[in-house]
Structure 1
Amino acid sequence: MHPLSKTSRDWLLVIIFLAISAVLYLVPTGFESAKDENSVHCAARVIAVDDAEIQVLGMIRAGEQAVELEILDGPFQGETFTANNQLMGQLDRDKLFKPGDKAYVILTVDGDGKVVFVNPQAHYRLGLELFLLGLFAALLLLFGGLTGFKALLSFVFTGLVLWKVLVPLLLKGTDPVWLTLCVVALLSAVIIFLVAGVNRTGLTAFLGALLGVVASCAMGIYFTRHFHVHGAVMPFAETLLYAGYGHLNLTRVFMAGVFLSSCGAVMDLAMDVASAMSEVVAKKPGISRMEAIWSGIRVGRAVVGTMTTTLLLAYSGGFVTLLMAFMAQGIPLDTTFNFIYVAAEVLKTLVGSFGLVTVAPFTALAGGLLMTAGESAATDSAH
């Protein structure tokens, strides 16, 4: 039998992971029973509003906004209801509707199927989210062709694994660090082998990324303890505890999040180094193992500088208003960085950057061992 060509292997992988993604989509999470069976979720058009009961205190609004809604889908499509939009004086949660807006509405029904309560929960955003997703997919396919399709498939597969595997198992009490490490290893293998193919280049990138993530994991566990950072710094952590999940170890969840959030950049750098080493070995088949390793390290040096800055900018965007608030109040820099929320972000940034710095030599070492071993190494790495 003739071995499969590279294109055939690529399509075989695509078909396999399409099937796995379909199965993941259909598999229940086990938390469907927590859904309120007496509620109907739908979209509605805001016909009219009445702001007479709203009290304005500076930037804060409190009171009730009366909203007249026309249901746009579901079993009550076409019907009109009047609801109260409760304003709590919290800028991050309150919303104001105006005529013509589209609202996401939850209808509570009784045993006879009659609507007993109407909750205009938020502005309707699902349509725009789907539009952006479709635009992203179209551009990726147009620009990348088959490689773009594989990247899109890895994107979908990653989302499904996070929602269908990681989150449910975390809620069920599985150890967050070990679970996340296994999930990251799985995702790294799928993403890298889908994009690079099942060859020495892909294996090199996978080993380098995995070793970099393991290094980040170890650093995250050690420094989370010594920073005295606990899981309550994460958004909605207390809400989760009060919702009946007091058994969860949120500090371990935070540790897992430290290296989970940086694994994408780690995979990116590992793929860059592995691809460059593959080209070097293909152009110079007789290259020695040490020459190949040093080539990989030199490529890593060129990339790692911008990648660590990328992590800093990505994390800074999430807490820039916190830094602004501290500066506006004249709080000294040492006090700012000693504050637990800032310290948590510093921990994520530096531990993630540590993983990036280590992944380059790890990948170079793996590439030197794999790509220069055996007579067919150069040919295999090129294909």
Structure 2
Amino acid sequence: MRKIKDNSIVLAIILLSLILILFLQKFGYKSYSRYVSDTLHYNQGIVVEISNENIEYDEGLKLYLGTQDLKVKMTEGNEKGSIIEVTNYLTKTHSVYAKENMRLIINVDTPDDIEPYYTVFNYDRRFSMAACAAILIAAIICISGSKGLKSLAGLLYSMFIIIEFLLPAVFSGWSPTWTSILTAVLSTAVTLLLLNGQSKKTAGAILASTTGVLCSLILFGVMSALIHIDGFCSSDTEGLLLINENTNLQIHDVLFASVLIASLGAIMDVGMSIVSALYEIYMHNPALSAGELYHSGIEIGKDMIGTMTNTLILAFTGSAFVTLLVFFSYQVQFNQLINSNYLSIEIAQGICGTFGIVLTIPAASGIMALLLTRSRTNKNL
């Protein structure tokens, strides 16, 4: 009973989130699809025989090129149990080299009044990804125990609220800015409440993380106005315009949601780290003043700034790495590259996310110093 009471707030937030999402799915979200794909299905099949093979291995590209005639036993969909024949084309841009007993995803096209058409879509990666995820989960639980389980639960909630609330809400024309802020607050609150329950540490970390996120968004608002970037500068503008015509998607502000989601995890990490460190310091020396605790938090934060800012900037750089390689092949000049829409957006996201991390440190230090010393002052009174 005590555990339920301690987690009453987080349980209430999760329950209200579920109710809200179910209501919005029924009455609030708009539906739009650019393509009619009722006749297309992507189902699993197992290669039972390679009846003919005309392939060669490209040593330079390290790829198989050519064709394979496959017999595949379908294990899903309307064709389940049947054996189909499909020609597998291996090209430089789509080289799915099949072997016997290998699981593949088959694109099954079944238009009306026409024989079904089969193509090899890709490898069936579900089991391998699930196995690697299971290894990660096992490592987290072995090292962190119950805290690890709670962190995984927080991650699941964050992904749930992004996929089931943020994406469809923004898609339906809601404000990307306010919707992403609400998502960040809910995700932060649930994640940190699960980890530490209803405590001063949790309250301080939630307030500090929210402050960091808001600082990041404020700077992005200023920076986007100064360098003239918005959702219309993205590479998917054409698709966004088509969605806008049907759902009133607010294209101009969609990048706010992108920046917030990209930086939220790192900001939460910094906020929780500072708060936990100050809490432990205070528990060992309750005589410390608010000013002393604040300065301790800043000193701890100085060591974190270098690594955490590197983490975020390198994460953005890593996501752009392949595109930058292609840019090099075009002999892109510096002024052309630095002022391109793509790189301007990446740089703005990196700068603003890092700004949120840096500002989280004084916010966490000040908030926690006040929370801890105020309780001591109240006791003295």
5 Å-filtered alignment, 1:129-168, equals 129-168=129-168
Compare 72-81 and 135-144 and name the one that shifted more. Answer: 72-81
5 Å-filtered alignment, 1:37-52, equals 38-46=39-47, 47-48=49-50
5 Å-filtered alignment, 1:172-321, equals 172-231=172-231, 234=234, 236-242=236-242, 247-321=248-322
CA contact (8 A) 1:49 1:97 kept: no
Deviation of 1:25 (Å): 9.7
- Amino acid across the alignment from 2:81: G
Q: 1:230 to 1:64 in 2, by over 3 A?
A: farther
Q: 1:360 to 1:202 in 2, by over 3 A?
A: same
Q: Distance in 1 between matches of 2:250 and 2:117?
A: 36
Q: Does 1:83 align with 2:86?
A: yes
Deviation of 1:228 (Å): 2.1
Which residue is 2:334 aligned to?
Answer: 333
Deviations 1:100-150 (A, max 9, x none): 3322124344779x9733343222112222222222222212221111110
- TM-score by structure 1 length? 0.81
Q: Distance in 2 between matches of 1:143 and 1:355?
A: 29
Q: Distance in 2 between matches of 1:232 and 1:85?
A: 38
Q: Does 1:71 align with 2:74?
A: yes
Compare 230-239 and 127-136 and name the one that shifted more. Answer: 230-239
Q: 1:374 to 1:19 in 2, by over 3 A?
A: closer
3-state secondary structure, aligned to 1:107: strand
Deviations 1:319-339 (A, max 9, x none): 123333444555443433222
Which residue is 2:365 aligned to?
Answer: 364
**How many residues get paired?**
368
Q: 1:13 to 1:51 in 2, by over 3 A?
A: farther
Deviations 1:35-78 (A, max 9, x none): 85555442012333766699x9x979999865432202344322
3-state secondary structure, aligned to 2:145: helix
Q: 1:219 to 1:325 in 2, by over 3 A?
A: same
Q: 1:336 to 1:33 in 2, by over 3 A?
A: closer
State, as a whole percentage, how many aligned pairs show the same letter.
Answer: 22
Q: Distance in 2 between matches of 1:165 and 1:25?
A: 6
Q: Distance in 1 between matches of 2:21 and 2:104?
A: 27
Q: Distance in 1 between matches of 2:65 and 2:253?
A: 38
Which residue is 1:127 aligned to?
Answer: 127
CA contact (8 A) 1:18 1:153 kept: no
CA contact (8 A) 2:21 2:165 kept: no
Q: Distance in 2 between matches of 1:142 and 1:96?
A: 36
Q: Distance in 1 between matches of 2:228 and 2:136?
A: 40
3-state secondary structure, aligned to 1:96: coil
Q: 1:243 to 1:205 in 2, by over 3 A?
A: closer
Q: 1:226 to 1:63 in 2, by over 3 A?
A: farther
Q: 1:232 to 1:85 in 2, by over 3 A?
A: farther
Which residue is 1:322 aligned to?
Answer: 323
Which residue is 1:381 aligned to?
Answer: none
CA contact (8 A) 1:223 1:347 kept: yes
Q: Distance in 1 between matches of 2:132 and 2:148?
A: 16
Deviation of 1:96 (Å): 3.0
Which residue is 1:355 aligned to?
Answer: 356
**Gaps in structure 2 of 5+ consecutive residues:** none
Q: Distance in 1 between matches of 2:87 and 2:233?
A: 33
3-state secondary structure, aligned to 2:117: strand
- TM-score by structure 2 length? 0.82
RMSD, aligned CA: 3.7
Q: Distance in 2 between matches of 1:99 and 1:21?
A: 46
CA contact (8 A) 2:108 2:119 kept: yes
Q: 1:341 to 1:98 in 2, by over 3 A?
A: same
3-state secondary structure, aligned to 2:116: strand
**Gaps in structure 1 of 5+ consecutive residues:** 379-383
